[in-house]
């Protein structure tokens, strides 16, 4: 009987020791999990920042492209106005030349 009690007591001591050893492992596991979560959060934040920076660059490029298009449209408009003025001047010259010309009599 004594042997059985000693074995049972030994088993209880072993179980208690395992439980004590298990707690630091749980703490270490929890600490590792928390550290991993922190690292993942940092990585997510970095990726978010990169995404935002990329989006800002895309917007800036789009703004520059639109400004370039506006400048092109303005140049085209100015060219058209210049061509219209030239055409008007030519029409005035033709009209003046026709007015100066003496009409020939029609022969029937």
- For the chain (length 108 residues), average pLDDT per consecutive 10? 67 71 66 91 97 98 98 98 98 91 71
Number of independent structural domains in the chain: 1
Residue range(s) defining the domain that contains residue 61: 27-96
**Residue 19 domain-assigned (yes or no):** no
DSSP code of residue 45: H
The DSSP line for 73-90 is HHHHHHHHHHHHHHHHHH
**Residue 1 domain-assigned (yes or no):** no
Strand ranges inside 15-74, DSSP E: none
Per-residue pLDDT, 79:
98
**Residue 22 domain-assigned (yes or no):** no
CA atoms within 13 A on the CB side of 67: 6
Q: What is the pTM of this model?
A: 0.51
**Residue 8 domain-assigned (yes or no):** no
Torsion of CA 11, 15, 20, 21, to 10 degrees: 100
| Cα Rg, the chain, nearest whole Å | 46
Residue 106: strand, helix, or coil? coil
Per-residue pLDDT, 42:
97
**Residue 64 domain-assigned (yes or no):** yes
């Amino acid at each position: 009987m004594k042997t059985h009690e000693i074995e049972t007591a030994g088993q209880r001591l072993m179980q208690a020791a395992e439980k004590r050893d298990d707690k630091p492992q749980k703490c270490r596991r929890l600490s590792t999990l928390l550290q991993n979560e922190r690292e993942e959060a940092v990585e997510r934040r970095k990726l978010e920042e990169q995404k935002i920076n990329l989006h800002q660059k895309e917007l800036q490029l789009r703004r520059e492209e639109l400004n370039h298009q506006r400048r092109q449209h303005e140049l085209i408009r100015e060219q058209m106005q210049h061509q219209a003025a030239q055409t008007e001047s030519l029409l005035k010259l033709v009209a003046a030349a026709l007015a100066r010309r003496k009409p020939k009599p029609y022969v029937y």
